[in-house]
């Protein structure tokens, strides 16, 4: 599907569901290995560079699960893709983590690592960095990897455009204690209305009093899901993220923003910033 169809959807030129179907078609060529290469290797993932995105992002996640004390039984990561960094802090504070993605190719990438195999990316530097944030030796990364493998109980299909995004019976009736979702909603929604509807669908997965950690791109209109595969993204401003959270009934507790240095603009997307929103369902 060409970008113009996606762009047409992002201007409301199609009905909501037509735009969603167009987005779905876009994802058929998604390449996990390429995606990981574009976003999760240097310079974006340079652990020795203080202004790199990855130390900032992992620090936000670490603080949320330690200083803010997020903990509980069940955490769901929505739209996991082929990545694991987003649950490396959480795995110390939850008994059960459910990973989820729309594409089988991404679920298989996760399952490969979870079953001890070699994935498309070596997550060791991420595990070591999170151990250091926790005041542990970096050599504790093996224990952290085993902890993560032990608490991830499911890797499930998910569709945030469905009123019930996960398979029936996945969660306790009251819902999950915590949701994490990173770079998903804005990357799969044809427009802001669809993004906000999807955010509302996520709320149904969360118990009252539960927390949402929503991470995403600001000012992004496309990204490469594979060589030459431009996937349209609904371009968000901070104020729109805050408004969508409020419209969906969340209480916004904290919003942090990272502005990308010029040398981290690599052509694989046109993202200008990254937001980290911590919210609670009253
Ligand atoms: C930009 S990637 C984000 C991956 C990962 N969470 C990260 O932080 O890099 C967006 C993900 O959304 C998934 N996705 C596509 N359509 C979806 C849908 N309708 N519902 C949920 N996830 C979807 C894609 O398969 C992809 O893995
Ligand atoms: O912020 S990142 O550079 C990043 C990570 C993933 C993405 C983007 C940016 C922007 N485009 C998104 C398309 F959906 C995907 N980052 C990569 C290193 S670890 C923390 C997250």
Report the pocket of ligand 1 as residue ranges, CB < 6 Å: 27, 30, 79-81, 83, 86, 101-103, 106, 158-161, 182-184, 187-188
Mean pLDDT (the chain, rounded): 93
274 lines ligand 2 (CB under 6 A): yes
On the question of pLDDT at 249 being above 80, the answer is yes
Task: Give CATH superfamily name and number for 5-280.
Answer: Vaccinia Virus protein VP39 (3.40.50.150)
Residue with CA nearest ligand 2 atom 12: 183
pLDDT level of residue 8 (50, 70, 90 thresholds) = very low
pLDDT at 4: 37
Mutate to test the pocket of ligand 2, among 160, 214, 217, 261 (most ligand atoms within 8 A of CB): 217
Q: What is the DSSP string of the chain?
A: --HHHHHHHHTT-S-HHHHHHHHHHHGGG--HHHHHHHHSSTTTT-TT-TT-HHHHHHHHHHHHHHTS---EEEEEETT-TT--GGGTTGGGTEEEEEEEES-HHHHHHHHHHHTT---SS--HHHHHHHHHHTT--GGGHHHHHHHHHHHEEEEEE--TTSSS-S-TTSS-TT-EEEEEEES-HHHH-SSHHHHHHHHHHHHTTEEEEEEEEEEEEES--EEEEETTEEEE-----HHHHHHHHHHTTPEEEEEEEEEPPGGG--SSB---EEEEEEEE--
pLDDT at 68: 81
On the question of pLDDT at 12 being above 50, the answer is no
pLDDT, mean of residues 106-127: 96
The answer to whether 1 and 22 have CB atoms below 8 angstroms apart is yes
pLDDT at 52: 85
**How far, in Å, CA of 112 to CA of 100, rounded?**
14
pLDDT at 15: 58
pLDDT, mean of residues 88-111: 98
pLDDT at 57: 95
Instruction: State the pairing for strand pair 273-280/251-259.
Output: antiparallel
pLDDT at 9: 41
* pLDDT tens-digit readout, 65-83: 998 889 999 999 999 999 9
pLDDT at 109: 98
pLDDT, mean of residues 157-184: 98
pLDDT level of residue 2 (50, 70, 90 thresholds) = very low
pLDDT at 13: 46
**How far, in Å, CA of 56 to CA of 257, rounded?**
10
User: Which three-class secondary structure string do you get for 139-154?
Assistant: HHHHHHHHHHHHHEEE
ipTM: 0.98
Ligand 1 centroid – CA 30 distance (Å)? 10
Instruction: Report pTM.
Output: 0.94
pLDDT, mean of residues 6-31: 73
Four-point Cα dihedral 225, 230, 234, 235, nearest 10: 100
The answer to whether 155 and 168 have CB atoms below 8 angstroms apart is no
Q: Is 100 exposed, middle or buried (0-12, 13-18, 19+ CB in 10 A)?
A: buried
The ligand minimizing its distance to the Cα of 235 is 2
């Amino acid at each position: 599907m060409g970008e113009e169809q996606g762009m047409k959807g992002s201007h409301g030129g199609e009905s909501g569901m037509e735009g969603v179907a167009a987005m779905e078609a876009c994802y058929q060529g998604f390449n996990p290995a390429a995606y990981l290469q574009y976003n999760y290797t240097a310079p974006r993932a340079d652990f020795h560079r203080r202004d790199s995105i990855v130390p900032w992002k992992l620090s936000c996640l670490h603080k949320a699960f330690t200083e803010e004390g997020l903990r509980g039984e069940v955490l769901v990561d929505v739209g996991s893709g082929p990545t694991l960094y987003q649950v490396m802090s959480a795995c110390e504070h939850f008994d059960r983590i459910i990973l989820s993605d729309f594409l089988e190719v991404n679920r298989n990438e996760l399952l490969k690592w979870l079953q001890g195999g070699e994935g498309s990316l070596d997550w060791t530097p991420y595990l070591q960095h999170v151990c250091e944030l926790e005041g542990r030796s970096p050599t504790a990364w093996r224990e952290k990897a085993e902890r993560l493998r032990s608490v991830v109980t499911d890797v499930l299909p998910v569709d945030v455009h469905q009123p019930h995004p996960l398979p029936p019976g996945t969660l306790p009736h009251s819902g999950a204690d915590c949701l994490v979702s990173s770079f998903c909603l804005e990357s799969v929604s044809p427009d802001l209305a669809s993004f906000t509807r999807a955010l509302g669908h996520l709320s149904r997965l969360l118990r009252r009093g539960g927390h949402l950690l929503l991470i995403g791109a600001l000012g992004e209109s496309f990204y490469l899901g594979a060589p030459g595969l431009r996937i349209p993204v609904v371009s968000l401003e901070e104020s729109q993220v805050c408004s969508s959270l409020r419209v969906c009934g969340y209480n916004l507790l904290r919003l942090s923003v990272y502005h990308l240095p010029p040398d981290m603009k690599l052509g694989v997307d046109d993202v200008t910033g990254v937001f980290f929103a911590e919210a609670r369902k009253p």
